[in-house]
Amino acid sequence: MNESFTDEALRANIYEGKRISPDQGLRLFEWDIIELGQAADYRRKIAFPEENVGFIIDRIINYSNICEAKCAFCAYHAHAGRVDPYELSMDEICQKTEELIQGRGTQVMLQGGLHPDHTLDTYLTMVKTLRERFPDIYLHSFSPAELTHIACKSDLSLDEVVQSLKDAGLNSVPGASDLLVDRIRNAVSPKKCTREQWCEVMQTLFRHNMTSTATMTYGMGETLRERIAHLEVIREVQDSTGILKAFIPWSFSPARTRLEHISPATGMDYLRMVAIARIFLDNITFIQAGWLTEGTKLAQVALTMGANDMGGVLTEEVVVKATGIETQITMTGMTDLIRDAGKTPVQRDSQYREIRRFT
């Protein structure tokens, strides 16, 4: 056996803080879960030595579910037949933002589908109106797929789209990635941006000094090697840009989607993905525990296996809810959850800076 592929060499790389290869990452799927978790927690301490766990108070405002992508994994778009088609008015969006602010929230995530009639002007109106009405709110909004869609519909370059949105008041863009594997994207979301286009959006945000995140939706029929391939794309993008503030893995919820024949991933699958992501993504500081999709108890365990952030205390969430998952948590519940994991709860802002510490 090649020396670099032995478990001894892999352990040495992990505990010496060295980068592991894709083949070594694949090998981690075979490790005992306890040893894997301990190794991931060690790598977490290298990346983030403090025993703090952050969370943000935010609100996802899904301004429309009219979407021409019609992804097979989505139960929320109008054509899925689970939710009636709708579009929020600007007044409704502002009302939801006002409610967030009254609850001490700091971040709004405007998200919607690939609307067939929306152009850049539609998005600029949303951003400018919120910025004028709520100058202190942080707008972490849209997605790489939406930005690519806007550029196509408006016959503009990505640079023009990003600069216009930034000038209007957009602060950053969530890097919704789904699974960055062309075989899977062609099968479940052929009308969304490609892997190459996702990377192009990240490079464009970098050129305009804007930050993002990266996600991973696994359990859609991919192989373990394809999961590592997804992580490899993200690691390479971070190497070249440094704009990814966090990585957020979550399991696909097949209920009520066109992929409901797929068996859902297990809790053990999730903990493995968190741990392997922590070890493989040596250039990303924050790994989020996905309490919304995985449940609060499993997310709490993830905090001992490489995760060091709990994401948002969401004032509103409807897309995951459309699949039948209705996990909720209050700020008190969040702080208790973090404390019970032996960590210190910290309310953070969108750039992962501390706002308030719960000692």
pLDDT digits 0-9 by tens, 299-355: 999 999 999 999 988 655 444 443 333 446 788 889 999 999 999 999 999 999 999
Determine whether 82 is exposed, middle or buried from the number of CB atoms within 10 Å of its CB (0-12, 13-18, 19+): middle
Specify the pLDDT at position 82. 61
Measure the CA–CA gap between 22 and 40, rounded to whole angstroms: 16
Residues 127-138: what's their mean pLDDT?
97
Task: List the binding residues for S-adenosyl-L-methionine.
Answer: 73
Residue 103 confidence (pLDDT): 86
Tell which residue, 117, 209, 200, 114, has the closest CA to residue 170: 209
Closest to 308 in 3D by CA, of 280, 336, 274, 281: 274
Position 191 scores a pLDDT of 85
The answer, yes or no, to whether residue 75 has pLDDT greater than 80, is no
State how beta strands 344-348 and 354-357 pair: antiparallel
Which residue ranges are tagged as binding site for (3R)-3-methyl-D-ornithine? 143
pLDDT greater than 90 at residue 135: yes
How confident is residue 263, by pLDDT bands cut at 50, 70 and 90?
low
Burial (0-12, 13-18, 19+ Cβ within 10 Å), 306: buried
Q: Quick one: pLDDT at residue 140?
A: 97
Known binding residues are 67, 71, 73-74, 143
pLDDT at 195 over 70: yes
Residue 58 has pLDDT above 50, yes or no: yes
The predicted structure's pLDDT at residue 113: 84
* pLDDT > 90 fraction of the chain, expressed in percent and rounded: 73
Higher pLDDT, 94 or 70: 94
Residues 347 and 154: their CA atoms lie apart, in Å, by 38
CB atoms within 10 A of CB 196: 10
Alpha-carbon distance 181 to 228, whole Å?
Answer: 10
For the chain, the average pLDDT equals 89
pLDDT of residue 231: 98
pLDDT at res. 274: 97
pTM equals 0.91
Confidence at residue 351, expressed as pLDDT on a 0 to 100 scale: 95
CATH class for the region spanning 21-348: alpha beta
Is the dihedral angle over the CA atoms 265, 266, 269, 271 positive or is it negative?
A: positive
Instruction: Answer yes or no: is pLDDT of 220 > 90.
Output: no
The b-or-e profile of 89-103 (16+ CB within 10 A means b, else e) is eeeebbebbeebeee
Q: Which residues are annotated as a binding site for [4Fe-4S] cluster?
A: 67, 71, 74
